[in-house]
Amino acid sequence: MTRFLVAAMMTCLTALGAQADSEERAELKAFASARLIDAILLYDQHFRVPETGQYLDALRLGGAAPEPLSSTAATGMGLISLALGDQLGLIPDASAKAEVTLRHLLGEVEGSPFTTERSKSGWYRHWFDARTGAVPDWNPDKFSTIDTAILAAGAAILSNHLRRQAETQGTPVPEAADLAARLVSSVDWRTAVRNPKRGSIHLIFYGVDEVPTENVATIPFDEYALLPCMAARYEDEIDQPGDATAAWETRFDMTEELPMADRGGLTLLSKPSGSVPSHFTHQFAFHLCGTYARDPEFLAEMGELMQADRAWFEAAGAPPDLWGLGAGSELVLEPAETEAAQTYGVARLDSNPNATASPAVMAGFLAVDEVMGQYNILRDLKALWDRDACRYSHEDLGFLWRCAIRDTSLAVNRVEAIDFSTWMLGLATAHPDIGLVFFQRNTY
């Protein structure tokens, strides 16, 4: 064979390889787009309660009526779903829907049966009835800092998105943008900081007068990093830098100075004790705090967390495309029973007793692949989808959700809105019309 023919064949093979790669990428992107649309619609059509615009804590699968319980954090993710749906033209009345949600939360709907009590600094409760605002008997007097922060982070993303879009289109700023900004500023975020030197943060307050817990607080790193992130921004906006700014700058701002645990040569964002939290905590901080979303160092840490996550499941004997240390409903398969019991679990590197994988957490790492120009996670997710592993549907909307690595065909019967949210957030970073830049620009 002549050199000319060899060269021609090599050129042809290279072209065919590039074409095949391009076709695969297009197929993976189409898969991600379809799944993102279904996720947004799941929030809009099933988690959202139209009368008040609040979002349910969880959906029951299999035709069972949902419980009327709303989660403040779920509503925060619902507001983000409206922003994403608006960006894609999927929810044409997104701003009007957001206005309903926000006016109810701010107590500005005359004659509405919905009322929600707030503490003196503006903190919301974790759970309340989605239609009336009534507090469940089993959680009567607690106000939650992290759930309020997730709600406000969602409101900030919505507000910034609507303002940016109005500026681009030369149209008036929707009322929802102002309402969302007002909700964010209605909380005195400084009160969440317990000890600025240690970076400790209040988890909850008791009663409207905000009696703190005596011994319970959290220190970096976990999802509570969102609170000093917002508190420092709050102090900047009111031009009063204080304890919150000091806590942020000394304990949270610099990724390389956050607590790190060494696991198999990987440096992982952790607690000072060396315990690595469930990976949804890092993903919440990344997608909801602009400082982290814009920080290449934080993204690099996300990459190492992803590697450690994959390694845990590989050691546990899971298929190579199934991993994800997250939280939500899971099956209890030990001891073996005729019908598996279901519980709520939070999996992490040091504890995953029911060997549960979370495709929502897999998706929550998609920004790592996007920045590196890779498609490994999307390949894994599509492979699971194609072989019907961890695959669910609700009213014809399809998604991947939690499953046991021993038997991926066994299904849970609940989807928790807050734990499911990383599925939506991650897929949004993989969408060409949204991308990581959406979070980098619009977070607080």
Q: What confidence score (pLDDT) does residue 19 get?
A: 57
Average pLDDT of the residues of the chain:
92
Q: How confident is the model at residue 20 (pLDDT cuts 50, 70, 90)?
A: low
Q: How confident is the model at residue 333 (pLDDT cuts 50, 70, 90)?
A: confident
Q: What is the DSSP letter of 58?
A: E
Q: What is the mean pLDDT of residues 30-37?
A: 97
| Cα–Cα dist 72/150, whole Å | 8
pLDDT at 337 over 70: no
Q: How confident is the model at residue 291 (pLDDT cuts 50, 70, 90)?
A: very high
Q: What is the mean pLDDT of residues 10-24?
A: 57
pLDDT at 119 over 90: yes
Q: What is the mean pLDDT of residues 60-69?
A: 85
| Cα–Cα dist 248/241, whole Å | 11
| Cα–Cα dist 107/128, whole Å | 14
State whether residue 90 is helix, strand or coil: coil
Q: How confident is the model at residue 9 (pLDDT cuts 50, 70, 90)?
A: very low
Q: What confidence score (pLDDT) does residue 12 get?
A: 42
Q: What is the mean pLDDT of residues 340-352?
A: 93
Give tens-digit pLDDT for 181-200. 999 999 999 999 999 989 99
Q: Which of 287, 248, 279, 250 is CA-nearest to residue 263? A: 279
pLDDT at 338 over 90: no
The per-type count for the chain, helices as H runs and strands as E runs, is 15, 20
| Cα–Cα dist 16/18, whole Å | 5
Between 9 and 229, the more confident residue is: 229
Between 152 and 141, the more confident residue is: 152
Q: How confident is the model at residue 10 (pLDDT cuts 50, 70, 90)?
A: very low
Q: Which of 378, 341, 363, 346 is CA-nearest to residue 423? A: 363
Q: What is the mean pLDDT of residues 400-426?
A: 96
Give tens-digit pLDDT for 267-284. 999 999 999 999 999 999
CA dihedral 103, 70, 93, 160 (to 10 degrees): 70
Asked if the peptide bond before residue 335 counts as cis, ω within 30 degrees of 0, the response is yes
**Whole-model pTM?**
0.94
Q: What confidence score (pLDDT) does residue 8 get?
A: 44
Q: What is the mean pLDDT of residues 320-333?
A: 96
Give tens-digit pLDDT for 230-242. 999 999 999 999 9
| Cα–Cα dist 37/90, whole Å | 8
Q: What confidence score (pLDDT) does residue 7 get?
A: 46
- 246: tokens are 């000091």
| Cα–Cα dist 352/279, whole Å | 12
| Cα–Cα dist 336/354, whole Å | 12
Task: Return all residues near 290 (Cβ < 8 A) that are at least 6 apart.
Answer: 229, 439, 440, 442, 443, 444
pLDDT at 310 over 80: yes
Q: Which of 76, 96, 101, 77 is CA-nearest to residue 86? A: 96
Give tens-digit pLDDT for 379-390. 999 999 999 999
Q: What percent of the chain has pLDDT over 90?
A: 87
Burial class of 264 by CB neighbour count within 10 A (0 to 12, 13 to 18, 19+):
exposed
Contact criterion met (CB below 8 Å) for 325 and 358: yes
Q: Which of 191, 222, 185, 219 is CA-nearest to residue 205? A: 191
| Cα–Cα dist 239/228, whole Å | 16
Q: How confident is the model at residue 140 (pLDDT cuts 50, 70, 90)?
A: confident
Q: What confidence score (pLDDT) does residue 4 get?
A: 45
Q: What confidence score (pLDDT) does residue 22 get?
A: 85
Between 6 and 159, the more confident residue is: 159
